Structure 1
Amino acid sequence: MLNIAISNQMLFRQIRTAHTDIKVPDFDHIRRGSLQCADMKSTESEDSRKTCSYMIVGTAATVGLYGLKSEVTRYVSYLSASADVLALSKIEINLADVPEGKSVTFKWRGKPLFIRHRTAEQIAAARAVPVGSLRDPMSDEERCRNPSFLVVIGVCTHLGCIPIADAGDFGPGGYYCPCHGSHFDGAARVRKGPAPLNLVIPEHTYVGETGLIVG
């Protein structure tokens, strides 16, 4: 019994109530950065830490913008017109090949292009029409830079049919759409039928006495 009492007394003496010899780890050198002093306050290193963050964000943004620019350039190049299409974006016409009083049809951008060499009587008739009486009011001077020539796209503004030259109720020199009965006068202005607007005039430039560039 005495031996058991001595053993229990020795066991109780080995139990420790406090661990004062254990050192608590210090992670300040990690939290504040390996390049900063461990004793430095966070407020003292704020500027340098912000500068580092700004540099990282700026670099990432720059790389992202360059990548976006590359993708946009590739996409735009993919959608851009090919060389053969660009070659047809403009057409040069010799007006000497268009007889007076006649309308000649050319192909431009996949659409018919009407070039009419108007006579003096056709010019006078077109300019005698009161502009206020027209559905789509435009004077003949606005539609014909050169009074002798009318340049329009041969597509009806109703449903896209191709009008017939020198036909309809406002000829000679007018146009008639056989699909739904729209009539256009000698300046290709709608005068009758369901078409809401005049025939479209494309961008064109006169070069010299007989040259015409459309587009």
Structure 2
Amino acid sequence: MAEQQVMDAGSAEGHEEEGVRRRDFIHIAAVSFGGVGAAAVVYPLVTQMAPSADVLAEASVEVDVSSITPGQTIKTVWRKQPVFISNLTPEEIASVKAVDVASLRDPQTLEERTLPGKENWLVSKAVCTHLGCVPLGAAAGEVKGEFDGYFCPCHGSHYDAAGRIRKGPAPTNLEVPEFSFLSDTVIKIG
């Protein structure tokens, strides 16, 4: 009789272990199913936030600067915003470097705004940092402001030839986007 009780106890433990295994399997299966369901819901939401093909196409732009003469500035478009590309003259470079950087509202040197060895090439967004107007000074005959750079006609901000704010309500310099030279005559913006 004692042997019978021991066998019954052993078989009860066997059923208990098997029950735990079944419960574990059901728990793991339910969590896995829930995880797959959550991923199926989240994936479309995340992918719809990715940039569209037309935005990716504008992520960078290449500009041939071979026809830009010293002292000339052109406007181009990058990410649906205007951009100035200036070929600074030695006189403009000298006047910009002569300014005490500590006296500027947004202190930046010309070297910080251009690439090493290419300090005559300035690339900046053509958007006033005050309220987003497009400054004048790129085309021949346009008002360049008091500092021979750019002038924002909306509220009177004056920038120097390096696109640094010198007078007016704009809080910061014209923004310099990421750019590089692919060759001596081609600039890649973005």
TM-score range, shorter chain: 0.7 to 0.9
TM-score by structure 1 length?
A: 0.75
1:43–1:198 Cα change, 3 Å: farther
Between the aligned partners of 1:54 and 1:130, the Cα distance in structure 2 is 73
Within-5 A mapping of 1:45-194: 46-145=16-115, 146-165=118-137, 167-171=144-148, 174-194=149-169
| Equivalent position of 1:197 in the other structure | 172
Q: Deviations over 1:130-155 (max 9, x none)?
A: 11111111111000112111000111
State the match for 2:188 in structure 1: 213
2:141 corresponds to: none
CA positional deviation for 1:43: 6.9
Check 1:38–1:115 CA distance in 2 against 1; reply closer, same or farther (3 A cut): farther
* Alignment match, 2:3: none
CA distance in 1, matches of 2:92, 2:17: 82
Q: Distance in 2 between matches of 1:163 and 1:193?
A: 12
Q: Secondary structure at the match of 1:165?
A: coil
Q: Could you say which structure has the greater relative contact order, defined with CA pairs below 8 angstroms and 6 or more residues apart? A: 2
1:124: how far off? 1.1
Aligned identity (percent) is 40
Q: Secondary structure in 1 aligned to 2:22? A: helix
Q: Which moved more, 1:200-209 or 1:64-73?
A: 64-73
The alpha carbon displacement at 1:103 in A equals 0.9
CA distance in 2, matches of 1:135, 1:51: 71
Structure-2 change in CA distance of 1:46 and 1:122 (3 Å): farther
* TM-score of the aligned structures, taking structure 2 as reference length: 0.84
* Closer/same/farther in 2, CA of residues 177 and 59 from structure 1, 3 Å limit: same
Q: Provide, for residues 81-134 of structure 1, a one-character-per-residue CA deviation record: whole Å limited to 9, x for no partner.
A: 222221111100111132221110001111001101111111111111111111
Report the Cα distance in structure 1 between the residues aligned to 2:131 and 2:184, rounded to whole angstroms: 36
Q: Would the alpha carbon gap of residues 48 and 130 (structure 1) be closer, same or farther in structure 2, given more than 3 Å must change? A: farther
Q: CA deviation at 1:38?
A: 7.9
Bigger radius of gyration among the two: 1
Worse-matched range after superposition: 183-192 or 68-77: 68-77
Superposed CA offset, 1:158-206 (max 9, x none): 11111111511100xx111111111111110111111111111111111
Deviations along 1:5-25, one digit per CA (max 9) or x if unpaired, are xxxxxxxxxxxxxxxxxxxxx
Q: Which runs of 5+ in 1 are unaligned?
A: 1-36
Displacement of 1:77 after TM fit?
2.2
Letter in structure 1 aligned against 2:73:
S
Q: Which amino acid aligns with 2:170?
A: A
Taking only aligned residues, the RMSD between alpha carbons, in angstroms, comes to 2.1
Deviates more, 1:55-64 or 1:189-198: 55-64
Q: How many residues align?
A: 177
C-alpha deviations, 1:39-97, integer Å up to 9, x for none?
A: 66977755443333332222222222222223222122222222222111110011113
